[in-house]
Structure 1
Amino acid sequence: MTDAGAWASPGSAMPETDTADSVAPPPAPPAAADDILETEIPLRPLGVSELLDGAITYVRRSPRAALGLSAILTGIVQVVVTVLQFIALGGRLHTNVDSPADLVRTLGPASMTSAVGLFLTAYVVLLLSGLLAPVMGRTLLGRATSFGQACRDARAVKGRLIGTATAVLAIVLLAIALPLTPLVVSLLAHAPTGLQALTAVLGVPLALALMVVGYVWFALATPIAVLERRGVRAALRRSAEIVRGRWWRMMGVLTLALVITFFVEFLVLPVPFAVAQQIILVFDKDPHGWLLVAAIAVGGVGRVIAGTLVNPFNAGVITLIYADRRMRREAFDLESQLEPSDDPLAAWLPGPLTAAGSGPQPKTPRPSFVAPPPPPPPPPGWQR
C-alpha cells in the first residue's frame, strides 16, 4: 500500500507530518577560524609571475622574521667585504690610475674582493633559503612568523643547514675550479701566449656553464634540509630528484630573479648612498681620519640596506620553486587541504613514498577487480 502522505494535488503545498523523515537536519556548525587557510599566495602549482610575486608577499606577511635574519647575515658579509676592499686598496677609497701598470694593480685586488663578495652573497642566499623556509612554509598555509619563532627555528637546524649550504657552495666552486685549472697552470708556467689564450677560451665558458648547472641542480637542498629534516647527502639527492625534468624552467626562473635583484641592488638602491659618498669627497679628494670613516660607513650602510631587502627575495624564489615542485610532483596542495595539520611545518614532512630519499619510488600494487555491491532497496512509498 502506498503512503498517502507522500502525495498531494499539483500546485498545493506538502502537508506537514510528524514523521522522522520530514524533520530538517540541524545546520552545520561554522568552520573554526584555524581551519580556514587565508593566504595571498595560492596553494597550487605556480606560474613564473606568481613565483616572483610570492617571494615579495611572504616578506610582507612576516617582515620582522624575513628582514631581521637577512639584516644579520648581510651585515656580517658586508663588513667583511668592506674591510677586504679597504685593505686591497691600501687604506684608500680609490687609487690614481696613471698608467696600464696602475690599472692592473688596481683591477687585480678589486676583482678578487668583488669575487669574494659575490660568493659570500651567494652563501648568504643559500642560508636564507633554509632559514626562511619555515617562514615561507607557514605563509603558504596561512600563518605568519614572528622574529622570535624564526630564531628558534634557526637554532634547531643550524648545523644541518650550514653543512648543506657549504656543500652546495663547494660543489659550485669545484665546478668552476676544474675547467680553470689548465689556465692557471699555463699562466704560472709562463706557457706560450697561444696556449694561454686557448685554455682561457675553452676554460672560462665551461666554468660558467658548470657553475650554473651545479647551482640549479642543488639550490633546493637548503629548504629541503630544513622542511623535510634531512641530512646533507639526503638533501642533495632529494634536490636533484625534484629538479629532474624541470631543470630548464628552474634555471630560467632563477636567472630572471637574478636579473631583477641585480638591477635593484646595484642600480637603484645604492644611488642615494653613492651620492652622499660623492658629497663627502667634495670636501676632500683623498679623505682621511673621521672623514674617511664616514665615507666608508655611508657606502657600507647602502650595501647592507640593499642586500637586506634583496636577499630574502632570492631566497624566497628558491623556496617557492621547491614548494611548486612538491605540489606538481606529489600533490602537496591537495594533501594539505584534505588533511590539514595543526603544525604548519609538520605538514611539509615527506610522505611514506618519498621519506626514503631519492631513487625510484615504490609502486602501489594495482587492486584486483571487485564487483560493486548491489544497490540498496528502494525506500517505502516511492511508488504511486
Structure 2
Amino acid sequence: MSDHDWQAPGGAPAPGSVPGPGSSSGAPAPGGSPHAGAGSSDAPYGAPLPPPLPNAPGAWAPPPKPGLLPLRPLAFGTLLWAPFTALRRNPAATFGSGLVVQLVSAIATVAVVVPFLIFTFSRIENAAAEDLDSLTAGSVGGLLLVMLVPIAVSIIAAAFLQGVMVVEVATATLGERLSFGALWRRAAKRIGPLLGWTALVTLAVLLVVAAFVGVIVVGAITSPAALVVAIVVTLLGGIGVAVLAAWLGTKLVVVPSIIVLEHVGIGTAVRRSWRLTDGYFWRTLGTLLLVALILNVAAQVVVQPISFLGTILAVLIDPNGTGSGLTITIITTVVTFILSIVIGAITAVVQAALVAVIYIDLRMRHEGLDLELARTVELRDAGQPVGDPFAPPTAGAAAT
C-alpha cells in the first residue's frame, strides 16, 4: 500500500488519492442507493447496509389502519375475524342494537301468538264434537295469518340491524366510534330501500316454500303413490333450490351495504353487487359459511349443556313424573330462552357486520377503495374538508 492510498479511519482521503468504494464523495456505492448509508457514508464496500430510516423516501411502511380494518385488500384471516372485532370494538352500540332487535322480535311473537293460542284452545275445549274438525282447521289457518305480524316485525328489525352494522363498519374503518343513537339515525335514512330489498328476499323464500307445500298437498289429496312422488320431487327440488339460493345469495350478498353506503336504489345495488363479487365468489361463499359454522357451534356449546343439565336435574328430582321437578324445568327454560336471545343478538350482529366487511374488501380489490379511504383520513386529520369516500365510482373509474 502506498502513502497516497492511506486514509485515516473515518477521515477524508489523502490529497490526490482516488476515492474508493464506500468513500464520502457523494457517489453511491455499487449496488447501494443514496439512502443506503443513512447515518454513515464510510461503510466498507460489501458490508451489510443499515436499514433505511422509517421516513426515508422509498422505505416500506405498513398500510395505515386508522380503525377497524387495515386500508388494503384483506387477508382471509382478517376478513374472517373482523366482524367479531367490530362487535368487541363498540359493544354498547353493536350488541345493544342486536339485543333490541331480538327483543322486539320475541316480544312481537309472544304478544300476538300466545293470546291467539289461548283463545283457540279454549274454543276447542268447549266445542261440540261435530265442529271440532272445522274449528281445528280454521285455527291452523288463523295461526298462519297471525304469524305474519311477527314475521313482518322481524323483517323490519333485521333490515334496521343490517343498516346499523353497515354504518358501524364503514365509520369504524375510518377510525370513528358512533353512539347507539347516531348509528340508528344514520341507518334510518336508508331504511326504505333496505326494507324493500328484505321484503323481496322474504317473498321469494315464502313463494318457494309455498310451492313445495302445494306439491305435497296435491300429492296427498290425489293418492298415496302421488304423495310419495311429491315428496321425492320436493326433496330433489329442495337440493336444486339450495344450490341456486347459495349462488344468488353470494352474488347479491353486498346489496344492503351498497344501498346504505352508496345511496342507490335496489336495481343499481343488485347490478353493483353482481359485478363486485366477480372473481371472488368462492372466497365470499367460504367466508359466509365458515362464520355461520363458527357461530352455530358456539351457540350449541353454550345452550345445549344447560338444557341437558336441566333435563337431568328434573329427572333426578322427579323420576316418577309427579311434578316436583317442574320448577327446575321452568328455570331451565327461562335461562335457555335468555341465552338464546343473547346468542341470537351476537349472531345477528356478526353476520350483518360480515356483509359490510366483505363489501369494503371487494371494493378495495376492484376499485382501489383503500386509496380513497387513506386519502380521506389524511385530509380529515389535516383539518381539510373531505367528501364521501364510499360514494359510487364514476363511470370511468368503474370501468377500470
Greater Cα offset, 285-294 or 300-309: 285-294
Q: How does 1:117-266 map to 2 (within 5 A)?
A: 127-175=160-208, 177-178=210-211, 181-190=214-223, 192=225, 193-266=227-300
| Percent identity between the two aligned chains | 22
Q: Contact 1:71 / 1:304 at 8 angstroms: preserved in 2?
A: yes
Judged with a 3 Å threshold, the aligned counterparts in structure 2 of structure 1 residues 88 and 260 are, in CA distance, closer, same or farther, namely farther
Q: Distance in 2 between matches of 1:86 and 1:287?
A: 28
SS at structure 2 position matched to 1:347: coil
Tell me how far apart the structure 2 counterparts of residues 70 and 315 of structure 1 sit (CA, whole Å). Answer: 10
1:142 partner SS: coil
Match of 2:389 in 1: 347
Out of 347, 353, 358, the position equivalent to 1:310 is 347
Give the C-alpha shift of residue 199 in structure 1: 1.4
Between the aligned partners of 1:53 and 1:119, the Cα distance in structure 2 is: 31
Deviations 1:329-353 (A, max 9, x none): 1010012213446499922111222
Aligned position for 2:125: none
- Counterpart residue identity of residue 71, structure 1: L
Tell me the CA shift for residue 180 of structure 1.
Answer: 6.0
Matched residue, 1:327 = 364
Partner Cα distance (1:63, 1:142) in 2:
15
- The normalised TM-score by structure 2 is 0.63
Change (3 A) 1:159 1:354: farther
Residue in structure 1 matched with residue 77 of structure 2 by the alignment: 49
CA contact (8 A) 2:93 2:183 kept: yes
**Are the aligned partners of 1:177 and 1:207 in contact in 2 as well (CA < 8 Å)?**
no
In 2, the alpha carbon distance for the partners of 1:266 and 1:118 equals 24
Shifted more, 290-299 versus 179-188: the winner is 290-299
- How does 1:61-72 map onto structure 2 within 5 Å? 61-72=89-100
Closer/same/farther in 2, CA of residues 269 and 299 from structure 1, 3 Å limit: closer
Give the TM-score, by structure 1 length: 0.66
* Contact 1:79/1:300 (8 A) holds in 2: no
Matched positions, count: 310
1:249 and 1:119 map into 2 onto residues whose CA distance is 32
Question: Structure 2 vs 1, CA of residues 298 and 132 (structure 1 numbering), >3 Å: closer, same or farther?
Answer: same
Mark the CA change 1:162 to 1:121 in structure 2 (over 3 Å): closer, same or farther: closer
Aligned-pair distance for 1:259?
Answer: 0.8
Query: Separation in 1 of the partners of 2:67 and 2:160?
Result: 25
Equivalent residue number for residue 99 of structure 1: none
Q: Distance in 2 between matches of 1:55 and 1:122?
A: 22
1:346 aligned counterpart, secondary structure = coil
SS in 2 for 1:66: helix
Greater RCO, 1 or 2 (C-alpha within 8 Å, sep 6+): 1
What amino acid sits opposite 1:52 in the alignment? L
Q: CA deviation at 1:54?
A: 0.6
Deviates more, 1:147-156 or 1:64-73: 147-156
Indicate how the Cα distance of structure 1 residues 338 and 269 shifts in structure 2: closer, same or farther if over 3 A, else same.
same
Distance 1:152 1:87 in 2: 35
Distance 2:255 2:394 in 1: 20
- Give 5+ residue unaligned stretches, structure 1: 1-8, 15-27, 29-35, 92-107, 356-360, 364-384
CA contact (8 A) 1:137 1:345 kept: no
Measured at CA, do residues 274 and 144 of structure 1 come closer, stay the same or move farther in structure 2, by a change above 3 Å?
Answer: farther
What corresponds to 2:41 in structure 1? none
1:65 positional shift: 1.0
| Higher alpha-carbon Rg | 2
Q: Is the 8 A contact 1:132 1:316 kept in 2?
A: yes
Alpha carbons 1:276, 1:298 under 8 Å: kept = no
- Residue identity opposite 1:243 in structure 2: T
Unaligned runs of 5+ in 2: 1-11, 16-23, 26-54, 56-63, 122-139
Deviation at 1:252, TM superposition (A): 1.3
Residues in 1 aligned to 2:153 and 2:162: alpha-carbon distance in whole angstroms: 14
Distance 1:135 1:167 in 2: 24
Q: Secondary structure at the match of 1:268?
A: helix
Offset at residue 294 of structure 1 (A): 5.3
Q: What amino acid maps onto 2:263 in structure 1?
A: R
Deviation at 1:61, TM superposition (A): 1.4
Distance 1:337 1:127, change over 3 A: same
The one-letter amino acid paired with 1:154 is A
Q: Give 1:87-126 correspondences, 5 Å limit.
A: none
Matched residues in 1 for 2:215 and 2:281: separation?
Answer: 29
Deviations 1:178-235 (A, max 9, x none): 5665344323434524423431342221232233233222221111111111222322
Checking the alignment, whether the CA contact within 8 Å between 1:64 and 1:147 is kept in structure 2 is yes
Q: Distance in 2 between matches of 1:242 and 1:287?
A: 60
Q: Alignment RMSD, CA only?
A: 4.3
